[in-house]
Amino acid sequence: MPQRRRSRSPGRLIALFLLLSLTYLAMAGRLIVLQVVEGPAYARLAADQRERVIEFAARRGAILDRDGQALAVSVDMKTIYADPYFVENPRQTAARLAPVLGDQADAGELAAKLTEKTRYVYLARQIPAEVADRVEALDLPGIYTETEPKRFYPGGKLASHILGFVDVDGRGLAGVELQYQQVLEGRPGRMTIEQDPKGRPLPQADSSYQEPLQGRELFLTIDKELQYFTEDALAEATAAYDASGGSAVVMRPSSGEILAMANVPDFDPNDAGAYADGDHRNRAVTDLYEPGSAFKAVTLSAALDAGVVTPQRKFIVPDSLPYAGEIFNDSHVHATESMRVTDIITESSNVGTIKIGLEFDRGVFRQYVRDFGFGSPTGLDFPAEQPGMVPDAADWTGATEATVPIGQGVAVTPMQMASAYSTIANDGVWVEPKLLLSTVDSTGRTSSSPPATRRVVMEEATGKATKMLTRVVDEGTGVEAQIPGFEVAGKTGTAQKPLPTGGYGNAYVGSFAGFAPASDPQIAVIVVLDEPSPIWGGVTAAPTFKTIMEFALSHLRIAPTRNATGTTEPPEPADPSIRD
């Protein structure tokens, strides 16, 4: 009987061995990946499934004026929230809550929230305590209350463009609320607990708690009373002269501190959403305009510093000047006359000022304009601040040489003009404008920093310029800015508004910028009115400047520098047709 042959193929055994080995190696490799490479990620995933982190909002730092008076504070309100897991009957619960919450929500929206796949959902935020008490009295399963801070602005519209506003979560959206968000917000508290899949706390599990850290307080350079008065005076002027808007800035030339900054229109930050977006704009730093004749103070100071003119130098001045293919006119018709530089500034002659500007070597005047701060941010770092527009050197044409000295062909903000006049008042030293005086943390520690400074023109030049600007107010286009008992230096401005398509239309900006006392400047003020009637800055902005400056000098207890005349009626210019 034949015997059966057995298979002794070593190849099959080797293949089987290799297959099993590769399988075990793959499993081992996968285990290594799971344990070593992906282990931390899976550990975090497991922790996320069982851990719950609850954040407690930090109290936002208050914003105060320079004397510690509150401008923006956080007050405790009540917030209603739900844990849908514990809500027994969403529809019935919503029906009982809706009448109590009133305008906060309707029953349909509440029912939808109560069925969301989450453990925490807001139902109504930052409501009065009495409403929250009524909700608690309902004793509804899964419905809870907690205390939450809400931003409150006790002055209403006061300093609204400076302060800005926050969203419902307390995050800054505009103004210094946005600019100093990281300083004001503090650090939220955190509590970490471990829970089972049904959301119940695990009794033996670890938990942690971190106290919230309150935000720092901001002390602004603003003087609350002066801010209120400035806003009121600007609003009255805007209404009286039927202007479409306006801005005013009050600052100390020696320190750069802004004591008041006002704009029209304004808004109430307690209900910012009820106003148009344009009302939120801080026009003093965001809106550009051509300054017109008010810019002649810059031209004058630069020319005196460069040594291209003296106060007594005379120019032959007709009432119109053809130059670089354009014809430039004075604001009034007059015979060709010989005018000193002092007279050119006093009577605000465009033709005379153009002739002064043409005395500079090419590129020199443009550098002075840049040194005064035009074409660059002021250093305030205010949200949406505009740097202005100064033509590049390559674009500085013959026409530019004629227009810029008289404040055309450049675009500036009211803040930049206030800073330029402060530079003249501060003996030629530019001081970076500032709104933040200091910050204070929860322990009472104060922090502040000095502003940047730079010399723009020499003291001798600004001294001569100040005398001529004083004459503008004493007997020139700025007589409406006279203040009994004080020497006031300043300059009027009336400028056509450029059209978006090029050229100029029939709308004007009237302005007046100046400082006092002229012999020892303590305060600089600028007033800009958009499309006033009448158009002349000397007739509209100058008396508004006087109102604000007169109050500021009294409020800050600055002593008079000359004997008061006792009259409130300023003298007329020598030629009543001269207006600017």
Between helices 107-114 and 90-101, what is the axis angle to 10°?
A: 130
Residue 565 within any structural domain of the chain = no
Mean pLDDT over 318-339 rounds to 93
Residue 46 within any structural domain of the chain = no
Please write the tens of the pLDDT for every residue from 368-397.
Answer: 999 999 999 999 999 999 999 999 999 998
CB 339 within 8 A of CB 476: no
Residue 566 within any structural domain of the chain = no
Pair 236, 158 in one domain: no
Residue 532 reports pLDDT greater than 50:
yes
Residue 570 reports pLDDT greater than 60:
no
Quote helix, strand, coil % in the chain, to nearest 5: 35, 25, 40
- Lowest mean pLDDT: which of 27-31, 319-323, 521-525? 27-31
Q: Chain-centre distance of CA 499, in angstroms? A: 26
In DSSP terms, 508 is beta-bridged to 496
Q: How far is Cα 300 from Cα 462, in angstroms, rounded to an integer?
A: 9
Check residues 573 and 58 and name the one with the higher pLDDT: 58
Q: How far is Cα 329 from Cα 319, in angstroms, rounded to an integer?
A: 6
pLDDT score of 161? 98
**Paired tokens of 263:** 């704009």
Residue 579 within any structural domain of the chain = no
CB 210 within 8 A of CB 193: no
Mean pLDDT over 64-75 rounds to 96
Residue 576 reports pLDDT greater than 90:
no
Three-state secondary structure string covering 385-411 = CCCCECCCHHHCCHHHHHHHHHCCCCE
**Paired tokens of 196:** 């089972």
Pair 196, 304 in one domain: no
Please write the tens of the pLDDT for every residue from 126-135.
Answer: 989 999 999 9
Residue 263 within any structural domain of the chain = yes
For position 69, which CATH number holds? 3.90.1310.10
Pair 196, 337 in one domain: no
Q: What is the pTM of this model?
A: 0.85
Residue 563 within any structural domain of the chain = no
pLDDT grade, residue 8 (50/70/90)? Answer: low
Q: How far is Cα 398 from Cα 354, in angstroms, rounded to an integer?
A: 11
Check residues 517 and 20 and name the one with the higher pLDDT: 517
pLDDT score of 29? 67
Q: Nearest 5°: phi and psi at 516?
A: -160, 155
CA angle 401, 530, 405 (to 5 degrees): 15
> What value does the mean pLDDT of the chain take?
89
Pair 236, 380 in one domain: yes
Pair 415, 473 in one domain: yes
Mean pLDDT over 296-323 rounds to 97
Mean pLDDT over 542-561 rounds to 97
CA nearest neighbour of 513 among 426, 403, 574, 422: 422
CB 135 within 8 A of CB 67: no
Mean pLDDT over 157-180 rounds to 96
pLDDT score of 562? 79
Q: How far is Cα 420 from Cα 373, in angstroms, rounded to an integer?
A: 7
Residue 557 reports pLDDT greater than 80:
yes
pLDDT grade, residue 571 (50/70/90)? Answer: very low
The residues carrying an active-site annotation are 293
Q: Chain-centre distance of CA 486, in angstroms? A: 32
pLDDT score of 3? 54
Pair 521, 421 in one domain: yes
Pair 157, 185 in one domain: yes
Check residues 513 and 7 and name the one with the higher pLDDT: 513
CB 65 within 8 A of CB 226: no
pLDDT score of 10? 72
Pair 471, 535 in one domain: yes
pLDDT grade, residue 255 (50/70/90)? Answer: very high
Check residues 7 and 174 and name the one with the higher pLDDT: 174
pLDDT grade, residue 572 (50/70/90)? Answer: very low
Work out the number of other CB atoms within 10 angstroms of the CB of residue 486: 22
CB 153 within 8 A of CB 270: yes
Pair 260, 135 in one domain: no
pLDDT grade, residue 566 (50/70/90)? Answer: very low
Pair 411, 492 in one domain: yes
pLDDT score of 213? 83
For position 258, which CATH number holds? 3.40.710.10
Work out the number of other CB atoms within 10 angstroms of the CB of residue 96: 16
Count of positions (residues) in the chain: 580
**Paired tokens of 397:** 């044409």
> Residue 205 corresponds to which amino acid?
A
Torsion of CA 143, 144, 149, 154, to 10 degrees: 70
Residue 275 within any structural domain of the chain = no
In DSSP terms, 261 is beta-bridged to 249
**Count of domains forming the chain:** 2
Please tell me what DSSP assigns to residue 130.
Answer: H
pLDDT grade, residue 19 (50/70/90)? Answer: confident
Pair 373, 482 in one domain: yes
Pair 543, 461 in one domain: yes
pLDDT score of 206? 62
CB 284 within 8 A of CB 263: yes
Q: Which long-range contacts (CB under 8 A, 24 or more apart) does 22-31 make?
A: none
Q: How far is Cα 569 from Cα 580, in angstroms, rounded to an integer?
A: 19
CB 199 within 8 A of CB 119: yes
pLDDT score of 210? 74
Please write the tens of the pLDDT for every residue from 358-370.
Answer: 999 999 999 999 9
In DSSP terms, 516 is beta-bridged to 523
Neighbour-count burial of 392, counting CB atoms closer than 10 A to its CB (0-12 exposed, 13-18 middle, 19+ buried): exposed
Please write the tens of the pLDDT for every residue from 183-236.
Answer: 999 887 776 766 655 555 555 556 676 777 889 999 999 999 999 999 999 999
Residue range of the domain that includes 302: 224-267+282-437+453-555
Residue 39 within any structural domain of the chain = no
Q: How far is Cα 126 from Cα 76, in angstroms, rounded to an integer?
A: 8
Please write the tens of the pLDDT for every residue from 415-459.
Answer: 999 999 999 999 999 999 999 999 998 888 989 899 999 999 999
Between helices 459-475 and 296-306, what is the axis angle to 10°?
A: 140
Q: Nearest 5°: phi and psi at 150?
A: -125, 140
